[in-house]
């Protein structure tokens, strides 16, 4: 098994360059320093010397920053987790015999999700004697959504024998 060094971050003694461009923990450019001198400055502050880029914009020296490497790694890990938690779509179920108050509550939820820029799928399950009356279910969904002035796109309907569904995008 081969390991990729592409995403590997070099820290302190792992840096193999003699001269490096150094940025301190405040973001100030300290200029081009000898590696030993940069390591000494980092250890005096109780921080690590981390190679950020393998070459500067000039293309001459690698760019290293004096920072807390553990904190940097933790922030990178958290940043990766936040992007994976993104909720793309919520689904709201209605029935044919839903009460007025329940319908208003669910419509308020739909409006709140749309304000948060979340796609909402509104579905109506057809049970019993309503099972084949998808046109009636579609008209009830349209009436309910128009009562809250929610825009409806006719291309986002999904109709089957027992479920009528509409995808609403913000």
- What is the average pLDDT value for the chain, to the nearest integer? 82
Partners of 165 in beta bridges: 123, 158
Q: Where are the domains of the chain?
A: 12-83, 89-168
Q: Give the per-residue pLDDT at 3.
A: 45
CA distances from 120 to 42, 91, 115, 116 (A): 51, 6, 11, 11
Q: Which CATH topology does 12-83 take?
A: Ubiquitin-like (UB roll) (3.10.20)
CA distance 36 to 15: 11
Q: Can you give the pTM of this predicted structure?
A: 0.49
Task: List, in sequence order, every beta strand (DSSP E) within 17-162.
Answer: 19-23, 29-34, 48-53, 63-67, 89-95, 119-125, 157-159
pLDDT digits (tens, 9 = 90+) for 17-73: 888 888 888 878 888 888 888 888 888 888 888 888 776 556 677 888 888 888 888
In what helix (H) or strand (E) does residue 155 lie, and over which residues does it extend? none
Mean pLDDT comparison of 15-19, 48-52, 122-126, 132-136, highest-scoring range: 122-126
Checking if the pLDDT of 137 tops 60, the result is yes
Partners of 23 in beta bridges: 29, 65
**pLDDT above 90: percentage of residues in the chain:** 9
Q: Report the pLDDT averaged over residues 105-128.
A: 89
Confidence of residue 7 (pLDDT cuts 50, 70, 90): low
CATH class of segment(s) 89-168: alpha beta
């Amino acid at each position: 098994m081969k390991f990729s060094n592409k995403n590997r971050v070099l820290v302190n003694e792992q840096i193999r360059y003699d001269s490096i461009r150094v940025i301190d923990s405040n973001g100030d450019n300290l200029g081009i320093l000898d590696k030993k001198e940069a390591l000494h400055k980092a250890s005096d502050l109780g921080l690590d010397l981390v190679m950020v880029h393998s070459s500067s914009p000039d293309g001459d020296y690698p760019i290293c920053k004096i920072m807390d490497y553990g904190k940097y790694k933790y922030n990178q890990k958290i940043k990766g987790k936040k992007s994976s938690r993104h909720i793309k779509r919520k689904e709201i179920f209605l029935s044919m015999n839903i009460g007025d108050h329940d319908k208003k509550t669910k419509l308020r939820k739909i409006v709140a999700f749309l304000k948060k820029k979340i796609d909402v799928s509104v579905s109506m399950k057809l049970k019993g004697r309503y099972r084949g009356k998808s046109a009636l279910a579609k008209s009830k969904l349209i009436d309910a959504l128009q009562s809250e002035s929610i825009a409806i796109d006719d291309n986002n309907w999904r109709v089957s024998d027992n479920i009528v569904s509409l995808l609403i995008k913000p």
